[in-house]
Homo-oligomer: A and B are copies of this chain.
Amino acid sequence: MRTSIATVSLSGSLTEKLTAASRAGFDGVEIFENDLLASSLAPAEIRARCADLGLTIDLYQPMRDVEALPEDDFARALRRARHKFELMRGLGADTVLVCSSVSPHALDDDALAAEQLGRLADLAQDHGIRVAYEALAWGRYISTYDHAWHVVKAADHPALGTCLDSFHILSRGSDPKGIEDIPGEKIFFLQLADAPLLAMDVLQWSRHYRCFPGQGGFDLAGLLRHVLRAGYTGPLSLEVFNDVFRQSDAGPTAVDARRSLLVLQEQVGIAALPALTAPTGVAFAELVTPDAAPVSAVLGALGFTRSARHRGKPVDLWQRGDARILVNSGPAERRQGTRLAAVGLESPDPAAAAHRAEALLAPVLPRRRTPGDAPLEAVAAPDGTELFFCATGHPRLPDWRADFEDVQDAGSAPGDDAGWRVDHLSLTQPWHQFDEAALFHHAVLGLRPQESVDVADPYGLLRSRAATTDDGAVRIVLTVGAAPVDDTAHAQHIALATDDVVAAARAHRAAGGELLPIPDNYYDDLAARFIFADGELDTYRELGILYDRDEHGTFRHCYTHTVGRVFFELVQRDGDYRGYGAPNAPVRLAAQHAARGFTGG
């Protein structure tokens, strides 16, 4: 099916919006009236610009407060409409959206509404235009899709049909099944928007919190199936009012938008994307740094061994058990300080995983960085993190380790590596791309996003959302700050699982490593909340180990100091604990602020 996007869903000038929609691969646009009014391009110029960009103008919108009015008011509305129909001729747009009246002058009279919509459709037909009538969720008398269809049906005019908008339908809790009773050819247009499930005034909810399909809580696939069964063949068009998107660059937003439609089309079985091949583990995490020494010192104190070095680049492989960290001090990567730049994911079929990512509009990275490298499938996540699809140790597929040459540092002392692996990776997202990141990780990698959690940092709330495979083999925690500032100031971290966090913490200290000091008050509170074995709490207090418990099990964790943007967490999960110690996060964040050396790097 053709895809379309309303210009109001994107930021910038009209020309910026059109360019972004075209580059993201949309087939058409809805022109939002205010975007046209604010543009210095004449309608014919907009038409030409769209044609150059390969975009059709699928809808002009909105026309308001037209129907069920006293005759004088209706005459004025018709006069306005005539102007707009002439404008639409210039634009080359053949469908106009008419929203149900919110006017205080509107009358509760369906027959009058049908009669006046018929007269409007007469005028539209004279201009070669179709009228798509939509029930606003807050319409004065007509506020449900079935009511709007009832009026359209009564008017019985070939140039009059209905427009369905998923937000207006689902925000009111209407049953979308009745859509199947509308003849497909009378559904002139379909606007799609998702939204988080908020209990709030529907107008404010609609104007500020809409989001792209798959980023909210509505069952859009269910709705779309009903619309398809009704026989609708028009475009799938996104109309999203969102405060964040208004501040974001139109380009990435348009890509995010089209990805959401691809996923939706796949869900209802009308788009064939390469099948998902979910990752089965973390092959490595790659840190880039202008100076390998500080982060190497931390890894060494954590009992990692520098086991291999890249044959052609200044990249070291550090390993303990199944946890592997690459430390890349190559010159191209030095500018931003020490940061987590890439993640290797074990994949049953790296090529298939990359094909799916590409089909879902992820930028594909060169398979070989330098001529000598083993070929590796890689794409970029929305935050720029490079995702490598790996088949470590696979007999017939290229192994990324082939580029590395074994070394064995004199000083390394292999400890007990049982259970050591990457537990999770915490990646700070650009403020504008938090919802996009969750959809991306779900659609591209098959990681299931969990509930968002608000965490109180002393200087603002953070939001945090984990996305994981069902077996927990890959866990990525997406975090975002309170405001669109300092994206790069927030820390990222690598959490390392061990079977004995106490021993790991002690060994780290003994090797000269530092652990984040946790206030005594925290341990007094633990003593009030839980009963511990003799001495247990003293051990945690001594080492700065935090503790959490849920109905499934327990979680113990502690933190290294921070290098650049990166710190490490040591975690021990017992029982079937599935969280990330969120109740402890405010204490940890405050401790990191207090111990500036732990955050400033």
Contacts and interface: CB of A to CB of B under 8 A. Distances in A.
A485 interface: yes
Interface string A425-465: 00000000000000000000000000000001011110000
A569 to B, nearest CB: 18
Given A40-B519, A594-B13, A246 B528 contact: no
Contacts of A33: 525
A198 interface: yes
Contact of A460 (B247, B459, B529, B591): B247
**Number of identical protomers:** 2
A38 B586 contact: yes
Contacts of A519: 37-40
Contacts of A40: 517, 519-520, 591, 594
A297 interface: no
B484 A38 contact: no
Of the listed residues A243, A528, A587, the one surrounded by the most CB atoms of chain B closer than 10 A to its CB is A528
Contacts of A198: 200-201, 204
Nearest to A531: B79
A12 interface: yes
B458 A13 contact: yes
Interface in A550-601: 586-587, 589-591, 593-594
Of the listed residues A246, A458, A519, A591, the one surrounded by the most CB atoms of chain B closer than 10 A to its CB is A458
A50 B507 CA distance: 40
Nearest to A593: B13
Contacts of A517: 40
| Main SS at interface, chain A | helix
A174 to B, nearest CB: 19
B87 A590 contact: no
A460 B528 contact: no
A28 B200 CA distance: 36
B201 A527 contact: no
Interface in A449-483: 456, 458-461, 482-483
A483 B200 contact: no
Contact of A38 (B11, B39, B587): B587
A79 B589 CA distance: 28
Interface string A410-427: 000000000000000000
B460 A520 contact: no
Given A12-B458, A524-B83, A38 B590 contact: yes
B243 A461 contact: yes
A199 interface: yes
A460 B590 contact: no
Interface string A241-273: 001001100000000000000000000000000
A591 B200 contact: no
Nearest to A482: B247
A34 interface: yes
Interface string A7-51: 000011100000000000000000001101111101100000000
A521 interface: yes
A522 interface: yes
22 contacts: A11-B458, A11-B460, A12-B458, A12-B459, A13-B590, A37-B519, A37-B521, A37-B586, A38-B519, A38-B522, A38-B590, A39-B521, A40-B519, A40-B520, A40-B594, A198-B201, A199-B200, A200-B200, A246-B456, A246-B461, A246-B482, A247-B460
Closest 9 CB pairs of A and B: A38-B590, A83-B528, A200-B200, A247-B460, A199-B201, A80-B528, A40-B519, A246-B460, A483-B484
